[in-house]
Chains A and B, each alone.
Chain A
Amino acid sequence: MTEPILEIDDLNISFYTRKGEIPAVMDFSMKVLPGETMGLVGESGCGKSTVSLGIMRYLGNNGHIKSGKIKFMGRDMAELSDDELRDIRGSKISMVYQEPMASLNPAMKVGKQLSEVLTVHEGISEQDAMKRAAEMMGAVRLPDPDRILGAYPHQLSGGQQQRVVISMALLSKPALLLLDEPTTALDVTVEAGIVDLIRDLAKEFGTSMVFVSHNLGLILETCDRITVMYSGEAVEEGDIKTVFNKMRHPYTKGLLRSIPVPGADKYSRPLVAIPGQLPLPHERPVGCNFGPRCDHYVEAVCNKGLVHMTDLGNRHRSRCERIGEIDWDAEEVAGEIDEPIVVGDVVVSVNHLKKHYSISTGMFGGGDTRTVKANEDLTFEAREAETVAIVGESGCGKSTFAKVLMGLETATDGTVTLGNLDIAHLPVEKRGPKTVSQVQMVFQNPFDTLNPSMTIGNQIMRVLEIFQIGDNDAARRDRMLELLDLVKLPREFATRMPRQLSGGQKQRIGIARAFAGHPKLVVADEPVSALDVSVQAAVTRLLTDIQREHRTTMLFISHDLGVVRYLADRVVVMYLGRIMEQGTTEAIFSPPYHPYTEALLSAVPVADTRVKKRHVVLEGEIPSPLTPLPGCPFQTRCQYVIKGTCDSVVPPFKDMGDGHVIACHLSEDILNAMLPVIELEAAPAAE
């Protein structure tokens, strides 16, 4: 067996805070062989980032490696002096962080920052370093290296910045590259490009990598091996295929069951949420950390004492006391299957909606005025009890559209009809409590959605008061308690402050608030994307249950096509303020596609080894909405672009039947001849 690049043995890392010692990583072992990519996956607070920082021995003031060995290329990192460590960091081990903008010095030109790596670590001249940096620009597929090297970080887009950071990490040809959520801050189509790049670079340079992510799909697409972490411990480790198909830990199994996979929707295979929530670091149970949430928990076995990793051969290990007793191939207990919802009449209809912003560049409103077309010619409708998903990347205008619906902005042109009322030109202060309560919103960030200085109960009561529900405080208090029941939270929460709640619980309160006034329309702006995977399924489930019960129309804004496919009845795909394609979920996810939808589908990482994806990677970035393009907005990145047509004429809406509309210049024949992007391989014989 070859000498591993990185060997971690029984690592224990603790943080020392006001509350005393908090173990962040316990009993952690890992081996990374040369050229291997190890994925480190887990939910927030599971210790995956701490491990990667621990490898660098960079734990800040209050972090401390209590015991265990980290051997890098045969040398024990603990025995290195500060000078030697500094020598290794950035040259032998490099790191790529989540926020590219925060990793680059905003006051230094990119070229200077890159060459610094080489002048410091290899002591070569500035000119040679610049030359090497320019070569590296080519390797990370950044066009026009000279322009980029002479630019300041803020002049580059997010994707370009992250490529610069990756090239910086690779410049001194490190033996180990640590990637900590390198694509989380980026859009999916840009992410797909970066993931592609990372995979190719690994092959080209033979660098070993540790890829830290919360996204199982991403790990599957990039890594050879995977370590699943839960609450500070590695619970399962093995080859990517083994872990995904023959998992031997209930947490891994639960995790995979709680994310939507292609071919499943809320009727055929509802998600199964892992019950409960992550234990806080100082409230971990005795024995197996996952015990209290596990279906296979057995008293006096699972909570007896420390559970150790069991070797299953073939470098597959799992931390479960009952590996031998659980029937791993048992038919998955599917969640409750609901009757399909019968959709009712049209509730909201959007007609040729436009929202333009004027931006003046001069002082005092003078100078040129430029128009940003945030929404252009939006037309669609949503029916009672229907879930319509609006899909698109940042800058596509979905948030502006939500603001117009909520009355925080008024439309430039067009109508939004709710019942008999046009609300497109009616700001929220002119709507009256009745209309306001009928259009409500669930916000994205659970940590931001509740006022931190007001109790949960008072916040809900305030909503009821504003919506004029209930005649007096007592009636409203009763209604508030009912709403807590509705979102399945204990009534004691009424007196709690938001900081005492977990992310998922806060989001439940957000849902209760939105449904307080029996709304006709709820706009959900990525309601679960900021939550941990194991909690997402439960919150999604709750949201759809309440929606079904109240027959509320839901506009589900998201960039996560997996969730959209699972949840939505119909999908609207937007790009740069325009609708590119709309239709039933079935129609959107199968050919004919709009070229943008095709790329989007290919870009989304899928956590299922059976899925074969056709590779469509978009070049470049989303153009700035400040410089509107004549013709189709997607022309700059489209692989089918027709010169002379797409860059001058706005594409027509082509009706492909059954409400499926594609805005494209391609002929119907070409569209119809497209191959599916996602295909499920035949199920393995074992199942």
Chain B
Amino acid sequence: MSEYIGTGEILLLSVTRFWPTWLAIAITLAVCWPLRERLGVFGRLYGSMIGMCGLIIVLFWVFTAIFADAIAVIGPLEQSFAAGMKKGTPGVTDPQSGIIFLWGGDNLARDVFSRVVHGSRIVLIVAPAATLIAYMVGATLGLPAGYLQGWSDSISSFLANLILAFPIILLFYLLVTPEVRTPHPVDLGLFTIPWSIPIGLAAVFFLFPIIFICTMWFTKYENNQAKLISYLGVTLVIGFWAYSALVFNSDPFGVLAMEPNMLNVFAAVILGSSPGVFRIVRGLTMDIKTRDYVAAAQTRGERPWYIMLWEILPNARGPLIVDFCLRIGYTTILLGTLGFFGLGLQPESADWGSMINHGRPFVRLANTAHLALFPALALMSLVLGLNLLADGLREESMKD
């Protein structure tokens, strides 16, 4: 029979196993303390209890993701073949290897603790990256909608409302239907690319960061040919290399690649959150464009895109940073939802949503509830941390 450790030991080990995380948090906070005057609103977080709690929770998961290999005891897919390890309750010890399954084992006798820790990597890469791209899409469409108004506003607002009004889960289901998601090779003459609706969506969405950054360089260095060409060149080369690798999985160097499932998740999440970003950017733009410095830029004959990207956007950053934190939280939940419905990554993936989904049939019994409980707690704490951080930032940016 397997051996078990007591509750007290479980709690103690749950804390101590994260020692690289705790150390990194302590170092970060200590290093930033003398610099807090120069860190703007982030430095002021030191004065806010709530913001500090949020920051520590978020940093906890960030560093856990970074040091996942050091924290996790075994790999996320490794199974134990000893008896009694399947659905073993928290604290069960593998009699063969002597490894303690701190948060129990799942139905395939994998270590829940290690899976949760490794799962944080997936969540913390996908959620911020998808949110960032959603931001670029939302900003690139929201700025002209708010600044120029007129027909561009009507069209993009209509599209945003359309997406917001459509039941998003149904949309996700449609996106992952095998007929829809299976790529067909399309011959473009010079080369062949895989094509499907999710790939098409991703192809559109992933184009926005390139357009966004190129427009930024163009408007800023329009009168400075040398700088303009070098900046644009670098952006275009790196941009399209990453673009071909991530969207069409055809990196000529074979360095960068993205799983097709991951691409689906990206497309779905960006589609789901960019209308919200669009709205907030549009609203802020309409507010800021009435300022005198915008009028000053207009009277010196600046291009509208310069005004949008360099006069308006930087000055909307306060509310946008707060919204960004909140939105990573939403995206995390959305990822969880996708995983929960089995729409996300491969079934064996350790992302938290999939783990909750796997644990779902076992929640009925108290001694197998841990399969879903621990990933759910992880998801909850990360989203809570992001929300607290956003609250703290908002509170501190309003004070003066």
Query: Residues of A at under 8 Å CB distance from B?
Result: 17-18, 406-408, 428-429, 431, 433, 436-437, 439-441, 443-445, 448-454, 463, 465-468, 473, 510, 513
Q: Which residues of B contact A451 (CB under 8 A)?
A: 293, 297, 310-311, 314-315
| A and B contact pairs by CB, cutoff 8 A, 16 listed | A408-B295, A408-B298, A440-B300, A441-B295, A443-B295, A444-B292, A448-B291, A449-B292, A451-B293, A451-B310, A453-B314, A463-B300, A465-B223, A466-B300, A466-B301, A466-B302
Closest A residue to B396 using CB positions: A18
B299 touching A428 by the CB < 8 A rule? Answer: yes
Closest B residue to A463 using CB positions: B300
**Alpha-carbon gap, A465 to B223, bound state (A):** 7
Q: Which residues of B contact A468 (CB under 8 A)?
A: 223
Q: Select B296's contact among A18, A431, A449, A453, beta carbons within 8 Å.
A: A449
A428 touching B292 by the CB < 8 A rule? Answer: no
A513 touching B399 by the CB < 8 A rule? Answer: no
Q: Which residues of B contact A433 (CB under 8 A)?
A: 301
A429 touching B299 by the CB < 8 A rule? Answer: no
**Alpha-carbon gap, A453 to B317, bound state (A):** 10
Q: Which residues of B contact A466 (CB under 8 A)?
A: 223, 300-302
Query: Residues of B at under 8 Å CB distance from A?
Result: 44, 47, 223-224, 291-293, 295-303, 310-311, 314-315, 317, 399-400
Q: Select B299's contact among A18, A440, A450, A454, beta carbons within 8 Å.
A: A440
Distance in angstroms from A144 CB to nearest chain B CB is 35
Q: Select B301's contact among A431, A444, A448, beta carbons within 8 Å.
A: A431
B293 touching A448 by the CB < 8 A rule? Answer: yes
A448 touching B315 by the CB < 8 A rule? Answer: no
**Alpha-carbon gap, A273 to B317, bound state (A):** 38
Q: Select A453's contact among B224, B298, B301, B315, beta carbons within 8 Å.
A: B315
Compute the total of residue contacts between A and B using a CB distance below 8 Å: 65
**Alpha-carbon gap, A428 to B294, bound state (A):** 14
Closest B residue to A525 using CB positions: B292
**Alpha-carbon gap, A453 to B399, bound state (A):** 18
B315 touching A452 by the CB < 8 A rule? Answer: yes
Distance in angstroms from B216 CB to nearest chain A CB is 14
Distance in angstroms from B319 CB to nearest chain A CB is 14
Q: Which residues of B contact A448 (CB under 8 A)?
A: 291-293
Closest B residue to A19 using CB positions: B400
Closest B residue to A430 using CB positions: B301
13 more A-B contacts (CB under 8 A) besides A407-B301, A429-B303? Answer: A18-B44, A18-B399, A408-B298, A444-B292, A449-B293, A451-B314, A451-B315, A452-B293, A452-B315, A466-B302, A467-B300, A473-B224, A510-B296
**Alpha-carbon gap, A445 to B315, bound state (A):** 17
Closest A residue to B307 using CB positions: A451
B44 touching A408 by the CB < 8 A rule? Answer: no
- Please give me the 8 A-B residue pairs with the lowest Cβ-Cβ distance, nearest first: A453-B314, A448-B292, A443-B292, A436-B301, A406-B299, A451-B293, A449-B292, A428-B301
Distance in angstroms from B181 CB to nearest chain A CB is 40
Q: Which residues of B contact A445 (CB under 8 A)?
A: 292
Q: Which residues of B contact A449 (CB under 8 A)?
A: 292-293, 296
**Alpha-carbon gap, A463 to B299, bound state (A):** 10
Q: Which residues of A contact B310 (CB under 8 A)?
A: 451, 454
B293 touching A18 by the CB < 8 A rule? Answer: no
B301 touching A18 by the CB < 8 A rule? Answer: no
**Alpha-carbon gap, A506 to B198, bound state (A):** 51
Closest A residue to B316 using CB positions: A453
A428 touching B298 by the CB < 8 A rule? Answer: yes
Q: Which residues of A contact B317 (CB under 8 A)?
A: 453
Distance in angstroms from A501 CB to nearest chain B CB is 14
Max chain A C-beta neighbours (<10 A), residue from B44, B298, B314, B400: B298
**Alpha-carbon gap, A297 to B399, bound state (A):** 37
Q: Which residues of B contact A510 (CB under 8 A)?
A: 296
Q: Which residues of B contact A467 (CB under 8 A)?
A: 300
Q: Which residues of A contact B315 (CB under 8 A)?
A: 451-453
Distance in angstroms from B20 CB to nearest chain A CB is 34
**Alpha-carbon gap, A445 to B292, bound state (A):** 7
A436 touching B292 by the CB < 8 A rule? Answer: no
Max chain B C-beta neighbours (<10 A), residue from A17, A428, A444: A428
Q: Which residues of A contact B301 (CB under 8 A)?
A: 407, 428-429, 431, 433, 436, 466
Closest B residue to A448 using CB positions: B292
Closest A residue to B291 using CB positions: A448
B47 touching A18 by the CB < 8 A rule? Answer: yes
Q: Which residues of B contact A441 (CB under 8 A)?
A: 295-296, 299
Q: Which residues of B contact A465 (CB under 8 A)?
A: 223-224
Closest B residue to A427 using CB positions: B301
Distance in angstroms from B150 CB to nearest chain A CB is 12
Closest B residue to A517 using CB positions: B300
Distance in angstroms from B198 CB to nearest chain A CB is 37
Closest B residue to A435 using CB positions: B301
**Alpha-carbon gap, A406 to B295, bound state (A):** 10
**Alpha-carbon gap, A473 to B224, bound state (A):** 9
**Alpha-carbon gap, A51 to B400, bound state (A):** 21
**Alpha-carbon gap, A513 to B310, bound state (A):** 17
Q: Which residues of A contact B314 (CB under 8 A)?
A: 451, 453-454
**Alpha-carbon gap, A444 to B298, bound state (A):** 16
Closest A residue to B223 using CB positions: A465
Distance in angstroms from B33 CB to nearest chain A CB is 16
Q: Which residues of B contact A453 (CB under 8 A)?
A: 314-315, 317
B296 touching A443 by the CB < 8 A rule? Answer: yes
Distance in angstroms from B152 CB to nearest chain A CB is 17
Distance in angstroms from B38 CB to nearest chain A CB is 12
**Alpha-carbon gap, A441 to B400, bound state (A):** 31
**Alpha-carbon gap, A646 to B400, bound state (A):** 54
Distance in angstroms from A251 CB to nearest chain B CB is 27
B293 touching A450 by the CB < 8 A rule? Answer: yes
**Alpha-carbon gap, A441 to B297, bound state (A):** 11
Max chain A C-beta neighbours (<10 A), residue from B47, B292, B310: B292
Q: Which residues of B contact A439 (CB under 8 A)?
A: 299
B291 touching A408 by the CB < 8 A rule? Answer: no
Q: Which residues of A contact B299 (CB under 8 A)?
A: 406-408, 428, 436, 439-441
Q: Which residues of A contact B224 (CB under 8 A)?
A: 465, 473
**Alpha-carbon gap, A449 to B299, bound state (A):** 12
**Alpha-carbon gap, A451 to B47, bound state (A):** 28
**Alpha-carbon gap, A436 to B311, bound state (A):** 19
Q: Which residues of A contact B399 (CB under 8 A)?
A: 18
Q: Which residues of A contact B400 (CB under 8 A)?
A: 17
**Alpha-carbon gap, A465 to B292, bound state (A):** 20
**Alpha-carbon gap, A473 to B302, bound state (A):** 19
**Alpha-carbon gap, A439 to B298, bound state (A):** 12
Q: Which residues of A contact B298 (CB under 8 A)?
A: 406, 408, 428
Max chain A C-beta neighbours (<10 A), residue from B293, B300, B317, B400: B300
Q: Which residues of B contact A450 (CB under 8 A)?
A: 293
**Alpha-carbon gap, A449 to B294, bound state (A):** 8
* Contacts known (A429-B301, A431-B301); A513 close to B295, Cβ less than 8 A: no
**Alpha-carbon gap, A452 to B300, bound state (A):** 18
Q: Which residues of B contact A473 (CB under 8 A)?
A: 224
**Alpha-carbon gap, A294 to B261, bound state (A):** 74
Q: Which residues of A contact B44 (CB under 8 A)?
A: 18
**Alpha-carbon gap, A407 to B301, bound state (A):** 9
**Alpha-carbon gap, A36 to B16, bound state (A):** 73
**Alpha-carbon gap, A431 to B223, bound state (A):** 17
**Alpha-carbon gap, A443 to B399, bound state (A):** 27
**Alpha-carbon gap, A436 to B299, bound state (A):** 7
Q: Which residues of A contact B300 (CB under 8 A)?
A: 436-437, 440, 463, 466-467
Distance in angstroms from B360 CB to nearest chain A CB is 47
Distance in angstroms from A480 CB to nearest chain B CB is 15
Q: Which residues of A contact B311 (CB under 8 A)?
A: 451
Q: Which residues of B contact A436 (CB under 8 A)?
A: 299-301
**Alpha-carbon gap, A465 to B224, bound state (A):** 9
Distance in angstroms from B224 CB to nearest chain A CB is 8
Closest A residue to B312 using CB positions: A451
**Alpha-carbon gap, A588 to B291, bound state (A):** 34
**Alpha-carbon gap, A473 to B227, bound state (A):** 12
Q: Which residues of A contact B296 (CB under 8 A)?
A: 441, 443, 449, 510, 513
**Alpha-carbon gap, A17 to B299, bound state (A):** 39
